[in-house]
Every structure is written in C-alpha cells, then in structure tokens.
Amino acid sequence: MGEMRSTRWFGGKDISGFIHRASMHAEGISKLALDGRPIVGICNSWSELVNCNLHFRGLTESVKRGVLLAGGLPLEFPAMSLGENLMKPTSMLFRNLMAMDVEESIRCYPFDSVVLLGGCDKTVPAQIMAAVSADLPAIMVTGGPSQPAWFRGRQLGAGTDLWHYLAELRAGRMTQEEFDELEAAATPSFGHCNEMGTASTMTSIVEALGMALPGTASIPAVEAGRGRAAEETGIRAVALAHEGLRPSQIVTEKSLDNAVTLLMALGGGTNAVIHLLAIAGRAGVPLTLDRFHEISRRTPVIANVRPSGEHLVEHLYHAGGIRAVLKELLPLLHGDALTVTGRTLAEEVEGVEVLDRNVIFPLDKPLATEGGITTLRGSLAPGGAIIKRSTASAELMRHRGPALVFEDVYDVAERIDDPDLPVTPDTVMVLRNTGPKGGPGMPEWGQLPIPKKLLEQGVTDMVRISDARMSGTAFGTVVLHVSPESYANGPLRAVRDGDPIVLDVEAGRLDLDIPAEEITRRIEELGPPKPRYSRGYGRMYVDHVLQADEGCDFDFLRAVPGEEPQTLPYGLLTGSIGGW
C-alpha cells in the first residue's frame, strides 16, 4: 500500500495542507476523516431534467454507505447530465463536453478512486471515456432499467413500442385518444429505457468491459438489489484506491473485443458502435469498423430482447442477466481479460447459469447466426456505414432502388406525408446533413418514417440511408453513420433523386451506382459547405469532432501514442499540492 494520492492535498504540513483540510472542516468533516483514508469521488449525473437518472440521489447514498463501511471517505460531485429526450438538438452533441467535465473533475480534485453513476444513454459512455483518459482507479454503477409500462394488457418497451404505435397513428389505425392513453402509461418509473436500446446496451457493455461489478447491469432500477449493488460498488472503490488498479489495465484490446462481442450477441443499439470507438480512442486501442465486422460475422445473437427479440431487460435479469450472457459467450471471449474486481472475466462468470432459455438462447441454437450489426463500405460510404441486421427485413438485405433525397430533417417533416411524394416501396430514402458536423451532433433522425401513402398501403419497411444515428430502440432496414458525412463532403452530398443505390448486406456493400468522376464533379460544383457556428461550444464541436467511423470524439481528446495519461492536476508532476 503506497501513499494515497489525496495525501498530496491533505497530508501537507504547509499552508496548502492547512487550507485543504480547513475547507473540508468547513463541511463538518473532521481531521480523523481525512487522516490517510482513501477519498472516493462519487460522480453523480442526477438531474431533474433526466428522468432516467432521477433516483441517483438515493443510489449515491448507497455508494457512500459502502465507502464508509470500507473505511473510505466519500465525496460526491456533480457531472453535467445528458437527458436523451429534453436535450436539443441531441444529447450526443454534448457527450464529449460531459466527458471533458468528468475527466477534468477527476483529475483536479483529491480523489484516490472514483465511482461513476450513469444511466441515460450518453451519461455512461461520457463517464467511461473520462475515466479512461484520467486513468485513476474507477468503477461504474449504472441506474438500471425502468419498470415496463402496461398498455392494453401488453408490457411495453420504452421506445420500441412507441415507434410501432406512432406508425399505427399515422396510418390511421389508432386514434389520437388512444395515443394520449399510451402517453400517460408509457413511463411508469425512473430508470433508463428498458429494452436493449442504447442505455441498456451501454450499461451491459460496461459490465463486459470489466468496469462495473459483474451481475449489476440489468438489475431493475426500482429493485432493492440495485441499492445493494451500489453499496458493494462503494466498498470495491475503496479497495481499488488501495490496490491502484487503473482503467488502463482493464479497458484493453481484449476487453474491447469482449464488449463488441456482447454488443453483437445482444442485438444491441447501433450507438454503441460509436461509443466503443470513442472509448477505444481514449485507451489508445486501434479498434476499427472492420473489427466490428469480423466479430459480427462470428457472433450469433443469443439475447431474445427487444428490439431484436421479444422480451425486456427485466426478463433478461431474471434469466441470469449479462453475466449469464457472458457465460454463454465465453468460448468467443477473452476470458483472461481483467475486471474491476481484480479477477478475470472467466473467473467472474464461473458457476453462473442461464435460468431461462427462452430469453438467453444457447450459443449453438441462437436467435440469429450472425451478429446484430453489420458494417458496410462502398462508393456511398468509403469510410464505412452500419446497419442493424437483426431488426431489418430479410427481403431488403439485397436491394437496388432509386434515391429520394431529403436535404435535412425539416425537408422530411414538410414532405413525408405529401400524397404526391414520388415514392414506391422500392425507393431508397436518403437523408443528409445529419452527421456529426452537419446535424450537428448526429441526431437520431436516421429512422426516417415510412411515407404516409405507403403506410396506408401496408408497407412497414423500406431502405433508408443517412449520416445520422438512430435510437437504439428503433428498427427497420436503416443504414446509418454513413462516413464521411455529407457536410464533410462525403459522397452522400452528391446523391440526386433517381440515382440508383445498391445495398448488399451479405457482401458488406453500399454503392451509389454512378461514375466516381461524376460524384467528385457534383461535390466540387456544390463548393464548400457554409460554416455553422462562429463561436462557442458549437464552433469547437464542428472544428474538432471526428467522423462516426472514429467515434465522434474530439481529435484532441484521443490518447497520444506513447504518452502516459496525465493523472495529476495539470502542471503538477511531484510533491504536495501548492499554489496558494
């Protein structure tokens, strides 16, 4: 056991030590509490604007209890909270800002280890990215899925069923009164979305990465077991402070492979591809879309959870949770990857059983033989694009059709229900200016609605292509994350109505079937896109955000090859903390 990092703040006999201790005494914290025991930071992303994380005040108390039980001193601090529904234009625009907030808070304060509380979509990857960059001992406890809603005798997923009923309303098969009834029933508790959308995918991935206690990801938000998991996390955080086990030892090429494998086996949300690429960039691991493709090819979908399957995350929990999925997947995983417990993944899943084979399928009798997400490349997406095959229509996996181009989401809103829209079931709908720079922030607009005139004919799916993302709860034959995006002069910018587009998921191809010189000529003719912002965060974002195939992190936040993470406050390399 070496000297605690916090001793640099509180152990000094000089005026700085005096001031640091005195500022804690001002909070009623005694000298005894500061006397060499680990200081555990608790990063709370609670906010009244984020219903998914509304229970984090209570959860934080459980973490604190665990820290105190283990002999540490818990100190809670706030993080910018990112609410999926209320934040505009999209919470993704602010993921990197939250990651910067958390990283710098971890680095500049006297913590020996940190507990991260995340739940709603972006609050989880933002904090993991931050922890990897700050590289102090860290552990995450997630908020858990919300209670399922009941509507007309059926349990609803938070998003998947909404998309279904929205289409019913637009097709005239549901009345506005019925839709209002749905609204009142839709969100019966706090907690994150309860199907395998982005939030559940990311919380599960954190467990597979080894950054959360095994068995904790899918405990429902309202269950007492989640409080006990938080308490246990607090206890472990104190041990981490003593042991000095760092994210750089846990988030490695192996654990990232494990995370990608789990993503595929869950039929998880497409946003996870971007977040994993960003986390890998922070860890200095050269993860690429091609690696996702390789892992997808060898990984079957075994979790029967919406939107790829039929159940909700609560059922997955009762079937054994993510630990049971990982146990089933073990032959495809790096079992020797280290976890935050100090034990390996294989050790952590030893003895775990699958309790319901209708929810977690055997590896040799899966729900689908290949992973849920496939990577595409071609003349329309030289940098890559993705499609969630597990929720797409089999008959559209190979498709050639004429493009119908929407310039932006406002163009969609204006024309999609126009009875004269020149669209047939074979049309390939294209949406542009919705990427990382063009959106900005790559909003979840990729799941273009089926035009009303086709809905009325009973059409439920068609090929849609964009540089946007889509909700992890959404479904359909939707090609996303086209890279480079149209705003960055990707070929998507050159598409015109009627151009033939060819999708071949099996071959991993997405092509604009016109000569390459014509694509270049059209883009040159259009000239450079207009600047979006002259100042502020918007300007920094557009100037520095990377494309989707690199995780949409800022270029200056990725790990610098050969450089150790800076774990002490900037400008301080040795000695006690001075500067008063």
Strand partners, 360: 303
In the list 70, 79, 139, 199, the residue contacting ligand FES (rule: CB under 6 A) is 199
17 or 472, CB closer to ligand FES?
A: 472
202, 472 Cβ separation under 8 angstroms: no
CB closer to ligand FES out of 146 and 433: 146
Q: Is 577 in the site for ligand FES (CB under 6 A)?
A: no
Cβ nearer to ligand FES, comparing 197 with 234: 197
Among 52, 235, 545, 577, binds ligand FES (CB under 6 A): 52
- Whole-angstrom distance, CA of residue 371 vs CA of residue 329: 12
Distances (CA, A) of 181 to 16, 35, 165, 170: 60, 57, 12, 16
Of 449, 457, 464, 456, nearest to 393 (Cα)? 464
x-or-dash pattern for ligand FES, window 103-122, by CB under 6 A? -----------------xx-
Nearer to ligand FES, 80 or 459 (CB): 80
Give the Cα separation of 529 and 42 in Å (integer): 43
205 touches ligand FES by CB under 6 A: no
Residue placing its CB nearer to ligand FES in the complex, 197 or 443: 197
> 406 pairs with which residues across the strands?
431
The piece of 176-184, 191-199, 381-389, 542-550 that touches ligand FES (CB under 6 A) is 191-199
85 near ligand FES (CB under 6 A): yes
Residue 358 interacts with ligand FES (CB under 6 A): yes or no: no
Interface with ligand FES (CB under 6 A), residue total: 10
- 193 touching ligand FES, by CB under 6 A: yes
Q: Mind spelling out the 3-state secondary structure of 287-346?
A: CCHHHHHHHHHHCCECECECCCCCECHHHHHHCCHHHHHHHHHHHHCCCCCECCCCCEHH
- Output DSSP code: residue 545: B
Q: SS3 breakdown of the chain: % helix, strand, coil, rounded to 5? A: 40, 15, 45
Report the residue number, 7 or 123, with the smaller CB distance to ligand FES: 123
- Residue 576, judged by CB atoms within 10 A of its CB (0-12, 13-18, 19+), counts as middle
| CB 82, min distance to ligand FES, A | 9
Least gap, CB of 193 to ligand FES (angstroms): 3
Pick the closest to residue 475 from 163, 85, 145 (CA basis): 163
Is the bond preceding 440 in cis, omega lying within 30 degrees of 0? Answer: yes
Tell me if 73 sits within 8 A of 67, measured CB to CB: yes
The smaller minimum CB distance to ligand FES, of residues 444 and 550, is found at: 444
Q: Which two tokens stand for residue 240?
A: 């981490």
Binding piece for ligand FES, criterion CB under 6 A, among 177-185, 193-201, 510-518, 567-575: 193-201
The residue (of 444 and 549) whose beta carbon lies closer to ligand FES is 444
In the complex, minimum distance from the CB of residue 143 to ligand FES, in angstroms, rounded to a whole number: 9
Q: Helix or strand or coil: residue 381? A: strand
Q: How far is the CB of 160 from ligand FES (least distance, A)?
A: 11
Choices 189-197, 265-273, 316-324, 375-383 (CB under 6 A): range interacting with ligand FES: 189-197
195 near ligand FES, judged by CB under 6 A: no
Rule CB under 6 A: is residue 84 a binding residue for ligand FES?
yes
Site residues, ligand FES (CB under 6 A) = 52, 84-85, 120-121, 158, 192-193, 197, 199
